[in-house]
Amino acid sequence: MEKVRIGVIGAGGMGIAHCNMIKDISEAQLTAVSDVNKDAVEKVGKDFEVKSFTDYKELIKSGLVDAVIIATPHYFHPEIAIFAMENGLHVLTEKPISVSVSQADKMISTAKKTGKIFSIVYQRRTESFIKSAIDIAKNDKLGQIHRTLCIDCWYRTQSYYNSAGWRATWKGEGGGILINQSPHTIDLFLLLGGMPKTIEGKANTKFHNIEVEDEAYALLEYENGATGYYYASTNELPEGFHIEILGEKGKLVLNTPNEIKFYSFSKDLTEFMFSADKMWDKVDVKEEKIELTDLPSGHKVIVQNFCRAILFNEPLISPGEEGIKAIEFINAVIYSGKKNKKVELPLNRKAYDKLLSQLQASSKQKTVVKETRETDPQHKKTN
């Protein structure tokens, strides 16, 4: 195999963005597209000169593709990924990996059983300042974690939520800010600070006319006694995130678009706290200089890495099995808020599935005058 033949499932804004990106990846070739909207997918198929399908199962069984990229509404990610892997195809899915952690379990289990390459589009992992932060955490420069903080700010208009019937509904999307905008930031937050042991959260609809949350926040407790705070909203400007990870050996601070600061301590904080002779002694704090490399980043890098994993066994930047962490966190915040109680991780799968079923049952039919399929401007770039 010289190139990976890819079928894109979902011909909305993100799916079209993937079709455009594949043209610039030497290891990939777009050979098919699928979408339930016949007119939309036929246009995309014609524009990119590939065969179009209205049934993703027909695309998967067509013999035209070696792998699929899933860019559909959230609920379809698990069923498509599982069907594709069981039929011999490799899978790259857009975030979130799934809506519920129980479905993510099934996807990961299928990938292990079939031996197929399974990856998730966590493109922020490719950014230089993020890669540097991950290296700091992996190389134990922080030491044992004492405190974490994540503030994730987004802004969405009511028109955005009105653009499709599935958006901002429990039945169509399975959540709001947490399941839609925040998985990337949550992924980074958990990579750097680790998974909490307990979560006590709230998920509110503060401003928008939607049935899911446009604001969420949570108090976190970790196995070692560390504490943390998480906040996300689609009601704020400027957009961006702020992450702090305080450890025994140093403090890491991240700010979008690409700011990273790392402060190293001359001695471990707790040890010095009890060994210092003088009343006002403090450890020396040094801001370490971090050189950022100007390398390609974004969706294109993830798709290319996925193809190279298939062709050359290159290690995945964002393995599909790691997508479950953000979903577990998201489910726990929602569950805690709805039940008004602190929850322990790993989350009880059956309990969350029962809650989600109840929320889906109460979900109201949403009328959309005209569905708008438009790629987010930031994803129209090919990098």
Give pLDDT tens digits for 326-339: 999 999 999 999 99
Are 241 and 313 within one domain?
no
CB 100 within 8 A of CB 38: no
- CATH number, domain of 39, equals 3.40.50.720
One domain for residues 90 and 171: no
pLDDT given for residue 368 in this prediction: 77
Does residue 213 lie within any of the structural domains?
Answer: yes
Answer yes or no: do 142 and 88 share one domain.
no
> What would the pLDDT profile of 191-232 be if each residue is shown by its tens digit?
999 999 999 999 999 999 999 999 999 999 999 999 999 999
Token pair belonging to 33? 């597209």
Q: Which residue(s) pair with 242 in the sheet?
A: 151, 255
Q: How confident is the model at residue 382 (pLDDT cuts 50, 70, 90)?
A: very low
Instruction: Give the residue ranges of DSSP H helices in the chain.
Output: 13-22, 38-48, 56-60, 76-86, 101-114, 128-138, 158-161, 177-180, 183-193, 269-275, 299-312, 323-339, 349-362
Any domain includes 215? yes
Asked whether residue 367 is domain-assigned, the answer is no
Return d(Cα 196, Cα 161) in angstroms, integer: 31
- Do 144 and 275 belong to one domain? yes
Per-residue model confidence as pLDDT tens digits over 249-275: 999 999 999 999 999 999 999 999 999
The strand pairing partners of 262, in sequence order, are: 252, 288
Tens-digit pLDDT profile for residues 141-182: 999 999 999 999 999 999 999 998 889 999 999 999 999 999
CA distance 78 to 97: 7
pLDDT tier, 369 (very low <50, low <70, confident <90, very high otherwise):
low
Mean pLDDT computed over every residue of the chain: 95
Any domain includes 196: yes
Tokens coding 27: 């290891």
Residue 381 lies in a domain: no
Q: Is 152 helix (H, G, I), strand (E, B) or coil?
A: strand
272: CATH: 3.30.360.10
Q: Are 114 and 183 in the same domain? A: no
Q: What confidence tens digit (pLDDT) does each residue in 357-366 have? A: 999 999 987 8
Amino acid at 323: G
In a domain, 171, yes or no: yes
Residue 25 pLDDT greater than 90, yes or no:
yes
**Per-residue model confidence (pLDDT) at position 87:** 98
CA angle 137, 141, 142 (to 5 degrees): 70
pLDDT computed for residue 383 by the predictor: 39
302/283 same-domain check:
no
Helix (H) or strand (E) run with residue 309 in it: helix 299-312
Cα–Cα distances (Å) from 375 to 15, 16, 20, 41, 358, in that order, read: 8, 7, 11, 15, 32
Distance CA 132, CA 344 (A): 31
Indicate whether 375 pLDDT > 70: no
233 and 283 assigned to the same domain: yes
How many domains does one find in the chain? 2
What letter represents residue 374's amino acid? E
Same domain? 249 vs 335? yes
Structural domain for 50, as ranges: 4-123+297-319
Same domain, 288 and 307: no
How far separated are the first and last CA of the chain, in Å rounded? Answer: 25
Residues 115 and 184 in one domain: no
Residues 101, 175: one domain?
Answer: no
The structure tokens 């309990």 sit at: 351
For 75-126, how does the pLDDT look when each residue is reduced to its tens digit (9 = 90+)? 999 999 999 999 999 999 999 999 999 999 999 999 999 999 999 999 999 9
Residues 192 and 340 in one domain: yes
Q: Which of 173, 176, 67 is nearest to 117 (CA)?
A: 67
**Phi, then psi, of 202 in degrees rounded to 5:** -140, 145
Percent of the chain with pLDDT over 90: 93
Choose among 357, 320, 356, 373: nearest CA to 84: 320
> Taking Cα atoms as reference points, which of 93, 189, 109, 176 lies closest to residue 149?
189
Compute the Cα dihedral for 307, 310, 315, 317 and give only its sign.
positive
**Is residue 371 assigned to a domain?**
no
Q: Is residue 172 part of a domain?
A: yes
